[in-house]
Amino acid sequence: MQARKRIMQTALAIAIGGVLIAPAQIWSMDAEDAPESVTIDSLVNLYTGVEFDHAMHVDYASCQECHHHTTGGEVVNPNCARCHSTSGEADEVTCTGCHATDRFNETYIRTLEAPELYHIDKPGLKGAYHLNCISCHETTSGPTGCQDCHTMTDAGEKMFYTGKYSPAKGHSAPGH
Amino acid sequence: MKKTVSRRNFLKGGLAGTAAVAVIQNKEAHAAQSFEGYPEGMGVLVDLTRCIGCRSCEAACNKEQELPEPAKPFDDYSVFDEIKHGQKRRTDETAYTVVNRYDVPNLDHPLFRKIQCNHCQEPACLTSCFVNAYTKTPEGAVIYNSKVCVGCRTCMIACPFYIPTFKYSSAFDPRIMKCVFCYDTRLKDGKPPACVEACPQEALTFGRRNDLINMGRQRIRETPGKYVEHIYGEKEVGGTAWMYISSVPFDQVGFDTHVPKEPILNSVKDFLAIVPMVLTIWPGLFVGFHLLATRKEKIKEQEKEDKEGQV
């Protein structure tokens, strides 16, 4: 009995000690925590949705390159590190958690009044995707054309006067 | 002897009066000069480093403003090679906004620049219009009323950015075609214009003009070496609601860097201030001169008549 109790106590001590002395990095997320793929379909009225292969992209980029300071890893961007070098893993790591789908709504624009606010220029969801994806794709020779990632829907073709809505050949705009 | 106003004194008085009016008018001109735009005015910050030339803004504008079918699809990028009269594409009666490509020397990728009405704080089109067809709204838009327009096209000459265009296809029902910041359909309800909403890269950032200047400065400050240290439109022609930031000097991407830093109005204000003075004071003044000049002759005539009467 005595021996068993001692073993239990030691195990408990090791467990608690482990928790106490563990470096912050242990608590950062890693690729295994992430979903295999993410459906991106906020532009679905003009373009078909994109099935974003998260598992594949993990091999190309570190977490921070897309998730900035929210996944708890070492913050690389010096502008983020000024405040977030020790903020650890955030409650919200999804894109939509921070980047609004309607970036330019009146309420949001009002919030920019706060004088202490640093994030006065946070892109909306669409901007965040494209700015991040395209700039990286350009250097890694990933797809950069609009329809390389998402094909146009019928409504999209109509708006762009393309596909079956293409202007007739020989037609020219009126004017002088 | 009865004291009369001598011709010399009358002239002196007249000149003093003219000068006084000119001074007063100038004071008013100075008061107008300090107008810094509506405090809640909205604007758009265009970041040339973000634009990828997808022309989504052009397509969205066409749809929103119900403009005619374009000559080429909006995903046809051969339009960037079009040169008309030695110039890149410009806004016309079928397009309130166009994107042009600029191949900058020593840069490994092209830059794209969207043009549209810049919605000046003190618009030259507005001040040049003698029927007041233009209005600068508190929301920041420069809008146009075709009902009062007489089709004189002075605004097209006045605009420092060559933006307003004339609908030549309906010359007898004059209509100027230009970007109105989607005022009727969006801006007045607090919504961003259609082009901004369509931009995938957020190369167009909509917000209050004052906030946008701060955003522009933050981008320039926090990404050293990425931008030239200038926000085009912050000061140009007295400030515009649409402003630009760029990675290369602005004259390399088609901007007119020689526009004055004060409203176009200031160049003509002194002259325009004289117009009411000429119309109100000069008639009386010159009638006075005329009467004075002909007084002696009249007196002589009178004396002659009196003499003849006596004889």
Q: Does the interface ipTM go beyond 0.90?
A: no
Residues of B with CB under 8 A from a CB of A: 50, 52, 54-55, 59-60, 62-63, 68-76, 92-95, 168-169, 190-192, 196-197, 199-202, 205-208, 211, 214-215, 218-219, 222
% of chain B with per-residue pLDDT over 70: 89
- Residue A61 to chain B, least CA–CA distance (Å): 20
Cβ contacts (< 8 Å) between A166 and chain B: which residues?
73
* pLDDT band with cut points at 50, 70 and 90 for residue A23: very low
* Tally of domains within chain B: 1
Q: Which residues of B touch A121 (CB under 8 A)?
A: 205, 215, 218-219
Question: Which residue does chain A place closest to B190, by CA atoms?
Answer: A106
Can you give the CATH number for the domain in which A93 is found? 3.90.10.10
Classify residue A69: in a domain, yes or no. yes
| B62 neighbourhood in chain A, CB within 8 Å | 159, 161
User: Least CA distance to A102: which residue of chain B?
Assistant: B197
Residue A19: domain span: 14-164
For residue B27, pLDDT beyond 90: no
Closest in A106, A124, A162 to B75, CB measured: A162
Q: Does B292 fall in a domain?
A: no
Structure confidence at residue B21 (pLDDT): 57
Which tokens go with B282? 């000069």
**Cβ pair B214, A115 in contact under 8 A:** no
Smallest Cβ distance to A172: which of B71, B206, B219? Answer: B71
Listed in sequence order, the DSSP H helices in chain B are 7-33, 56-64, 124-128, 154-158, 194-198, 209-222, 265-310
Q: What is the pLDDT of residue B123?
A: 95
CATH of the domain at B125: 3.30.70.20
Domain span at B134: 42-264
Residue A1 lies in a domain: no
Count of domains observed in chain A: 1
Distance (Å, whole) CA B101 – CA B8: 67
pLDDT of residue A26: 44
End-to-end CA separation in angstroms for chain B:
27
Q: Which of the pair, A124 or B8, is modelled with greater confidence?
A: A124
pLDDT of residue B180: 97
**Tokens representing B202?**
């957020």
| b/e A124-149 (16+ beta carbons within 10 angstroms → b) | bbbbbbbbbbbebbeeeeeeeebeeb
**Residues B278-310: tens digit of each pLDDT:** 888 889 999 999 999 898 888 888 888 888 877
Q: 3-state secondary structure string, A60-125?
A: CCCHHHHHCCCECCCCCCHHHHHHHCCCCECCCCCHHHHCCCCCCCHHHHHHCCCCCCCCCCCCCH
Confidence of residue A115 (pLDDT cuts 50, 70, 90): confident
Residue A18: pLDDT band (50, 70, 90) is very low
Which chain A residues are within 8 Å of B199, Cβ to Cβ?
127
Residue B26 inside a domain? The answer is no
**How many Cα atoms within 13 Å fall on the side-chain side of residue A157?**
11
**Tens digits of per-residue pLDDT, B31-70?**
455 677 788 899 999 999 999 999 999 999 999 999 999 9
The alpha carbon of residue B254 is apart from the nearest alpha carbon of chain A, in Å, by: 23
pLDDT at B278: 85
Burial bucket for residue A19 (CB in 10 Å: 0-12, 13-18, 19+): exposed
> Does residue A84 belong to any structural domain of this protein?
yes
Contact call for B75 and A134, based on CB within 8 A: no
Any domain includes B31: no
The end-to-end CA distance of chain A, in Å, is: 102
Does some domain include residue A8? no
Test mutation, B202, B206, B212, B219, chain A, max A CBs within 10 A: B202
d(CA B194, CA B189): 13
CB B187 within 8 A of CB B208: no
**Is residue B187 domain-resident?**
yes
Contact between B201 and A130 using a beta-carbon 8 Å cutoff: yes
B219-246 residue pLDDT tens = 999 999 999 999 999 999 999 999 999 9
Helix (H) or strand (E) holding A149: helix A146-149
Residue in B closest to A163 by C-alpha: B73
How many Å is the maximal CA-CA distance in chain B? 105
pLDDT in tens, A78-95: 889 999 988 888 988 999
B94 within 8 A of B68, measured Cβ to Cβ = yes
**Residue A41: is its pLDDT beyond 60?**
yes
Q: Is A143 on the interface with B (CB under 8 A)?
A: no
Distance, in Å, from the CA atom of A164 to the CA atom of A161, rounded to the nearest integer, reads 8
pLDDT band at A170 (very low <50, low <70, confident <90, very high): low
Task: Give the distance from residue B169's alpha carbon to the nearest chain A alpha carbon, in angstroms.
Answer: 6
